[in-house]
Amino acid sequence: MIPSIEWIDNKVKMIDQTVLPHELKFLEFEDFRDVAISIKLMNIRGAPAIGVAAAMGMALATIEYKELPKSEFLKRMEEAAEVIKKTRPTASNLFWAVDRIWKIISSYPDNPSSLSDLVVEEAKLMAQEDINVNKNIGKNGAELLEDGDVVLTHCNAGSLATVQYGTALAPVRSAIAQGKKISVIADETRPRLQGARLTAYELQYDKIPVNVISDTSSGLMMRLGKVNKVIVGTDRVTSDAVFNKIGTYLVALAAKDNNIPFYVAAPTSTLSLDETVDDVIIEQRDSTEVSNVLGKVQIVPDGVECLNYAFDITPFRLVTGIITEDGVYTPEELLKKYK
Ligand code: MRU
């Protein structure tokens, strides 16, 4: 799959994920405010991808403000950081990325113009690092997969959710590159259908076998012996749980009940191990995402308000292992290593 986001000639170029799988369309932005809107509207989505988008948004802001005196520059950059941080509340990577850029801004004593060059370079580096991290997740996760395995995944934690290669789909890509025969079952992932639209699109693009199922089918697929392993991505890992796309918890429960290993692919930029579940804001999105399929056909009676929580909480007791760029860990080992 081609990169979902790139920095080209002082512009941010991204795949518009809202029109996939029907159209492969690109958006280009020179204004950080437009990047913030694209995160909010989910033209770009997936925790690592929105982290890189946030960093590139900050880089665009430094270009816009670099002629200002340093104090004014800093004031405007604080406002830009706030705009970007307010786009989506749950994925750690967004805050991690803005904070990483902020460290450079606050520690650099020179003029805003040369600082802007540094921030642009850092944002580009973060994009490249994301690909490297994902390849290492792939290498570590591929060890868990055996020839012939069918991997069930929820939402899209693939190339499109990152800069390239993916997190949950990285072990699948790496295992296939090692010569193993692996196929994927993708939950459709209501209401935004990231599994049906995006996971299926990118796997088909890369000629990796994939079947899409309705979200309500995953338990039966496990019961029928059609799933060997579950691998999902994550938006935030706290000291007690994994936050991921709504529906992940139910998949984890079904996996436990059917003795199927449930793995979470998590770049370390997603770890927020000083927090517990009570510290995290679960994003609630517009009711119409649930009431109207893909914003079009209304499926509930007029006047009925739908509840639309975007993420849920999977407690550590349901997690077999967490695959990071450094290795595969039980939740207890993860806490020991990174906390
Ligand atoms: O609402 P989304 O599409 O941004 O949610 C994405 C997910 O839940 C992914 O599983 C998660 O961000 C991990 S992506 C590598």
* pLDDT tens for each residue of 117-147: 999 999 999 999 999 999 999 999 999 999 9
Minimum CA distance residue for ligand 1 atom 6: 46
- Which of helix, strand or coil describes residue 199? helix
For residue 300, how many other CB atoms are within 10 A of its CB? 13
Look over the chain and give the mean of its residue pLDDT values, rounded to a whole number: 97
Nearest alpha-carbon partner for 234 in 303, 122, 336, 331: 331
The pLDDT of residue 108? 78
Residue 214 is encoded by which pair of tokens?
Answer: 């309705």
- The CA 153 to ligand 1 mean position distance, Å, reads 12
- The CA 72 to ligand 1 mean position distance, Å, reads 36
Q: Counting beta carbons within 10 angstroms of the beta carbon of residue 156, is it exposed (0 to 12), middle (13 to 18) or buried (19 or more)?
A: buried
| Ligand 1 closest atom vs CA 158 | 15
The pLDDT of residue 131? 98
Number of H helices, E strands in the chain: 12, 15
| Ligand 1 closest atom vs CA 310 | 1
**In whole angstroms, how large is the CA radius of gyration of the chain?**
20
Ligand 1 binding site (Cβ under 6 Å of any ligand atom)? 45-48, 91, 155, 157, 161-162, 167, 194, 233-235, 244-245, 310
Residue 152 is encoded by which pair of tokens?
Answer: 């069930």
Distance, CA of 50 to chain centre:
7
DSSP E strand stretches across 181-248:
183-187, 210-213, 229-232, 236-237, 241-245
The pLDDT of residue 263? 98
For residue 301, how many other CB atoms are within 10 A of its CB? 7
Q: Which residues contact 296 (CB under 8 A, 6 or more apart)?
A: none
Q: What is the pLDDT of residues 36-47, one digit of tens each?
A: 999 999 999 999
Q: Give, as one character, the DSSP assignment of residue 143.
A: T
Residue 39: what residue type? I
Q: What share of the chain is helix, strand, coil (3-state, %, to 5)?
A: 45, 15, 35
- The CA 234 to ligand 1 mean position distance, Å, reads 6
Helices (H), the chain: 32-40, 47-65, 70-85, 92-107, 112-142, 170-177, 194, 200-205, 218-223, 248-257, 288-291, 331-338
Residues of the chain with pLDDT under 70: 109
| Ligand 1 closest atom vs CA 245 | 8
pTM summary value: 0.97
Structural contact between residues 186 and 199, judged by C-beta atoms closer than 8 angstroms: yes
Q: Which of 155, 244, 286 to mutate to test the pocket of ligand 1 (most atoms within 8 A of CB)?
A: 155
As beta bridge partners, residue 183 has 150
Domains in the chain, please, with CATH? 5-135 (1.20.120.420), 138-338 (3.40.50.10470)
Q: How many whole angstroms separate alpha carbon 33 and alpha carbon 298?
A: 31
Q: How many whole angstroms separate alpha carbon 245 and alpha carbon 69?
A: 43
Q: Which of 156, 187, 308 to mutate to test the pocket of ligand 1 (most atoms within 8 A of CB)?
A: 156
- The CA 134 to ligand 1 mean position distance, Å, reads 14
The pLDDT of residue 107? 87
Q: How many whole angstroms separate alpha carbon 58 and alpha carbon 154?
A: 30
| Ligand 1 closest atom vs CA 232 | 10
Active site residues per annotation = 235
Count the residues in the chain.
Answer: 339
Q: Which of 131, 154, 194 to mutate to test the pocket of ligand 1 (most atoms within 8 A of CB)?
A: 194
Residue 208 is encoded by which pair of tokens?
Answer: 């990796």
Q: How many whole angstroms separate alpha carbon 56 and alpha carbon 44?
A: 13
Token pair 């805003």 is found at 112
The pLDDT of residue 121? 97
- The CA 49 to ligand 1 mean position distance, Å, reads 9
